[in-house]
Amino acid sequence: MTYLAFCRTGALVFLTAVAAWPDSAPKHEKLTPEQRIWLTRDLTAEFATAKVMLPRSKKALPVEISGKIDDDRWNQAQEEYGPAARVGDLVQITKVEYEKTRILFEINGGFKGGRKWYQRIQVSGSTGVSTVPMGGSSTAPAGTQLALVFPEGVPAVEAADIKKYLTPILDFEKRSATEQYVKSLPAPIQAAIEEKRATEGMDRDMVLIALGKPNHKVRETKDGVEVEDWVYGKPPGKVTFVTFQGDKVVTIRERYAGLGGSVAPPLEPR
């Protein structure tokens, strides 16, 4: 029995997934640096439900844009390292990287990853405070890596296209835990997350949902107080500095940096 046959309930599931794929092959226009930034922000911290068993793997497991996977490689990874997530487990994209012919997705922190903050979310309701279930009675998901393969090179695609290509593997529609968590936040923070921007008072988890992982972090002590800057963007272009004091955002600064490190005056605050 092949890995696909083992993980899926039958041909009907596969054909349903095929129907959800993009209507045409991806256009082979080059993905620009700005498009990469937005694609990364749209996909990082996104949740999905595993539709097949995801093996743990040190090397990214390939997924073709047709939805086909390499049964032998997936089986080998499963036998060697065990599962990262079982069917029905909620997983999260924690990092996105780009190669010439592949987009790499770190799932749940990668090979050394494990349970994340979203598995301890508590939501208040009319019946009190309860913990949002993460994957039913299955064991805690670990981490792995996937690689979406574009044989002719990574084209100018959008997040919605990526999700469709990954449909046979991941279901991005089942995100009730994420939605409940965001809906439990104050209205201004909900609005900021929807607009993909940071705002004062957010914690690190909220910033990750809004902006994804930063390009880099800088920690320093100012007047005896330790602060940490999360830096988004690279010159030339807009660079955003999100400053944390403790676990909370205290300031957001935006600059336009040119080549050679020149910095334009700050933008007007939002």
Structural domain that includes position 12: 3-181
Residues 60 and 163 in one domain: yes
Instruction: State yes or no: pLDDT of 75 exceeds 90.
Output: yes
Last residue within a domain, chosen from 129, 162, 181: 181
Q: How many domains does the chain have?
A: 2
* Residue 270 lies inside a defined structural domain of this protein: no
CB 54 within 8 A of CB 77: no
- Mean pLDDT within 168-181: 75
Instruction: State yes or no: pLDDT of 8 exceeds 80.
Output: no
Residues 202 and 111 in one domain: no
Burial of 80 (0-12, 13-18, 19+ CB in 10 A): exposed
Residues 102 and 147 in one domain: yes
pLDDT in tens, 14-41: 444 444 445 445 556 888 888 998 899 8
Residues 42 and 92 in one domain: yes
For residues 37 and 232, what is the distance between their CA atoms, to the nearest angstrom? 9
Residues 199 and 252 in one domain: yes
The fraction of the chain above a pLDDT of 70, given in percent, is: 72
Closest residue by Cα to residue 20 from 76, 50, 65? 65
Last residue within a domain, chosen from 181, 208, 224: 181
Residues 106 and 216 in one domain: no
Residues 163 and 215 in one domain: no
pLDDT in tens, 108-157: 989 887 654 444 444 433 434 434 433 333 334 689 999 999 999 999 99
Last residue within a domain, chosen from 147, 181, 215: 181
* Residue 148 lies inside a defined structural domain of this protein: yes
> How many other C-beta atoms can be found within 10 angstroms of the C-beta atom of residue 235?
15
* Residue 269 lies inside a defined structural domain of this protein: no
Instruction: State yes or no: pLDDT of 162 exceeds 60.
Output: yes
* Residue 267 lies inside a defined structural domain of this protein: no
Residues 126 and 228 in one domain: no
Residues 120 and 247 in one domain: no
Residues 148 and 14 in one domain: yes
Residues 128 and 31 in one domain: yes
Residues 164 and 246 in one domain: no
The two tokens of residue 36 are: 């990469």
pLDDT in tens, 81-110: 999 998 888 888 999 999 999 999 999 989
Q: What is the CATH number of the domain that holds 212?
A: 3.30.1450.10
